[in-house]
Structure 1
Amino acid sequence: MAWRPWDLDQAYVPFVKGIGCDVAFSDPVFRRKFKEKHGKEVEEDIIAAAQEWVKICFSGVAHSWEEIAFLKKKWDGPIILKGIQHPDDALKAIEVGVQGIIVSNHGGRQLDGAIGSLTMLPEIADAVGDKLTVLFDSGARTGVDVIKALSLGAKAVCIGRPWVYGLGIGGKAGARDVMKGILADFDQSMGLAGIKGTKDCSRSIIRRVEYPGDRASSN
């Protein structure tokens, strides 16, 4: 996928020719649905398969706040919005009546210049107060990362890639070992910091240190 920006700038979309579609073509659900619709395997018609995948990935990706009302009519459970990166959007989430938000830049893989989620977390948490539940996602790899997010206003921290790495290496046991490692680090780090429990995680134990290079790079 690394060539996508350059190709798109040149009005060349390699996906429709089956280039760079391995993620889709190896997905069992996509393969099954393609066969049901076309009566053949993906490998028998790469172009048709690629076009199906492009339609899935690049259609219906724009959403509006008005869609929340539709979701609330169809779903009586809690609604949590992921991808909140600004206090104004967090306040809008309260206005439309969702129960929670996830402060996230999707692991930095969508927009490389996006501000870090941890940087925005305190401001967003202050804006919403206790009016909805604030979760955190993006870049949490250790127990210390979890402590930082909880201390800056998150009620819970979502773990994304680490357990997938464990799953890929060791299956179910690998995923479990990764999570056990994060929990062990979390427990040990709380003890070393003199924290008895998650309720003691607050900004009083956090300090942000700016280095000369950080200051210079922001000018």
Structure 2
Amino acid sequence: MSSVGRTVQSRVYRAGVYGRRPVVPVEPAALEAAARRRMSEVAWAYVAGSAGRQRTAQANLDAFDRHRIVPRMLVDVEERDTSVALFGRRLPAPLLFAPIGVLELAHPDADHAVARAARALGLPMVISSQASVPMEDVARTLGDAPRWFQLYWSKDDDVVDSFVDRAEAIGSEAIVVTLDTHVLGWRTRDLDLAYLPFARGEGIAQYTSDPAFRRLVEARAAAPRPADEPSPRPTPAAVRALHSMARHYPGRLRDNLRSPLPRAAVETFLDVFSRSSLTWDDLARLRGRTSLPIVLKGIQRLDDAARALDHGVDGIVVSNHGGRQVDGAIASLDALPAVVEVVDGRIPVLFDSGIRSGADVVTALALGARAVLVGRPWVYGVALAGADGARAVMQHLWAELDLTMALSGVRSVDEIGPDLLAPGPR
């Protein structure tokens, strides 16, 4: 039974007697502001930025303001259970670390910091295809903590197969296929800085550590370059980019600076990153490759939810990629209830895009989510305090979830339903 809310709350107040404050700000806006001061301009733009005019990202946040919790009184909530079952495992809370790429922009420990936080809390980490650290190294840091793997479906089938095989080998408990990023959205903040981390070799460690991808790189490096390929005059920025490519490629930096492989790896990645020709029929190929649960991330439409059921997937994540892909898209929370209705309990429906507090978690669960994926908040924690920051952010969410349940007359996650929310406008 959970007492995490009072435990975390009491720890903070007791430490305050001795003049100590939390390792990262608890209030969401203060957390974000502190992280912005700490992060570089390009790191902040990449992590906090979204598509176009940022309207979808704002819509994700605004959607929570349209729902109000109506607490129940005189319910015995002395003992509460925040745990939830997913794919045969009982998790201590309905919280997962969402897949976030290029974490080296936030902190030198990158994915290791998140893995240590996940391990300390016993919460699942969804390892990103765009990680700064190979999945095998992340798995070692995770120890016995649960892990899922997020798959960006490459244009090269051998790379897809190899990623899935590696994900199975490290003990992943689900494959999360991200559907909404087969091309990058129009991310205005990154474009204004002319900054794409992958073009500098950042965030492609899953690829440069992959045998199938490395074969593509070696073939590309060995091929003669077209005679008419332009050779622009080097600039200081270009020299720094080439150094970054060499530093991120496996092997000694000195050797990589003289090798064509680091640049070939970046060019190969940009060629094969993700597949826009992917269709529902391709899911059968993935099912033939793995017995792991297949979860589709990025579902917003009712007909897509129905197709997911028809194609035998094991879970859905209602998500708009935190607003990073389509400007002016529906808020993820607004899409959730109708998807839940279509699925009708046949598979778990998870949620992400816009979670900033434990009360937000309660709202998403009340609208039918089985669990939520949290992204930007814990990245801000990583930027401020590494693993301790990520752990603190998720602990704060968990604690507020627990206390909100107590104050709303709810004893378990299973008791959180639509009747906990005020009726919507008629």
Q: What's the TM-score, normalizing by structure 2?
A: 0.41
After TM superposition, the structure 1 stretch with the greater mean CA deviation from structure 2, 79-88 or 200-209, is 200-209
1:20 corresponding residue in structure 2: 195
**Match 1:183 to one of 374, 377, 398:** 398
* Contact 1:84–1:102 (8 Å) recurs in 2: yes
CA spacing shift, 1:83–1:204, aligned 2, 3 Å: same
Aligned to 1:90: 305
Counterpart selection for 1:65 from 276, 280, 284: 280
**1-side partners of 2:347 and 2:410: how far apart?**
25
Normalised by the length of structure 1, the TM-score is 0.77
Q: Is the 8 A contact 2:198 2:204 kept in 1?
A: no
Name the aligned partner's letter for residue 103 of structure 1.
V
- Report Cα offsets for 1:63-109 as digits up to 9, x if no partner: 21011100110001111001000111111111000111001111111
CA contact (8 A) 1:86 1:124 kept: yes
DSSP 3-state at the match of 1:66: helix
Which amino acid counterpart does residue 84 of structure 1 have in structure 2?
Answer: I
Q: How does 1:19-168 map to 2 (within 5 A)?
A: 19-25=194-200, 26-27=202-203, 29=205, 37=218, 38=221, 42=245, 51-57=267-273, 59-168=274-383
When residues 133 and 30 of structure 1 are mapped into structure 2, their CA distance, relative to the original with a 3 A threshold, is closer
| 1:205 and 2:381 correspond | no
User: Distance in 2 between the 1:75 and 1:49 partners?
Assistant: 27
- Counterpart CA distance in 1 for 2:416 and 2:308 is 25
For 2:408, the equivalent position in structure 1 comes to: 193
Partners of 1:21 and 1:50 within 8 A in 2 = no
Of Structure 1 and Structure 2, the greater helix share is in: 1
1:194 deviates by: 1.6
Name the residue aligned to 1:217. none
Q: For the residues of structure 2 that align with 1:165 and 1:27, how far apart are their CA atoms? A: 18
Equivalent AA in structure 1 for residue 393 of structure 2: V
**Aligned partners of 1:134, 1:30: CA distance in 2, in Å?**
27
The residue matched to 2:277 in structure 1 has which SS? Answer: coil
Taking only the aligned residue pairs, the percentage that are identical comes to 38
- 23-32 or 108-117: which moved more? 23-32
1:137-180 C-alpha deviation (Å, 9 max, x unpaired): 11111101110111001111111222222112211111100100
Is there any run of 5+ residues in structure 2 with no aligned partner, and where? 1-45, 53-190, 223-241, 247-256
2:263 and 2:395 map into 1 onto residues whose CA distance is 44
Partner Cα distance (1:158, 1:121) in 2: 14
Structure 1 spans left out of the alignment, 5+ residues: 6-14, 211-219
Deviations 1:102-144 (A, max 9, x none): 0111111100111011111111111110211111111111101
Shift in alpha-carbon separation, 1:21–1:206, aligned structure 2, 3 A: same
Supply the distance in 1 between the matched residues of 2:264 and 2:208 (Cα, whole angstroms).
14
| RMSD, matched Cα | 3.3
Distance 1:75 1:168, change over 3 A: same
